[in-house]
Amino acid sequence: MMAIFDDPVTKDRNLLSPPVARAQGFYFYDKKTAYNAWFTFTLVFNSTEHKGTLNIMGADMMNEEVRDLTVVGGTGDFFLSRGIATIHTDATEGIKYFRLKMDIKLYECH
């Protein structure tokens, strides 16, 4: 199964909070014996605080409490960014709905 998404990203857990970015991309389940997924998405920022994008991709081992996805690039304020997006599953309702908490750490490369 493949899912395409365009979801708001907020600073807190409230879906109705003002978004700081949008997460646009897709994921597909890639293992028959467990729910593991492969994600690729872009965080699109367009606010007074940040403008640009961050591109994130990698395997999401959904049964693990904490997972890391790779930040593979960016544009605007995040031009040529590299780093790690640490993912925690914050809430689930079966396989139809889930909410993720992300902690993004960027590093400089010259």
Query: What is the rounded average pLDDT of the residues 75-93?
Result: 89
DSSP-assigned letter for residue 81? -
Q: How confident is the model at residue 108 (pLDDT cuts 50, 70, 90)?
A: confident
Q: How confident is the model at residue 77 (pLDDT cuts 50, 70, 90)?
A: very high
Q: How confident is the model at residue 5 (pLDDT cuts 50, 70, 90)?
A: very high
DSSP-assigned letter for residue 10? -
- Extents of the domains making up the chain: 2-9+20-107
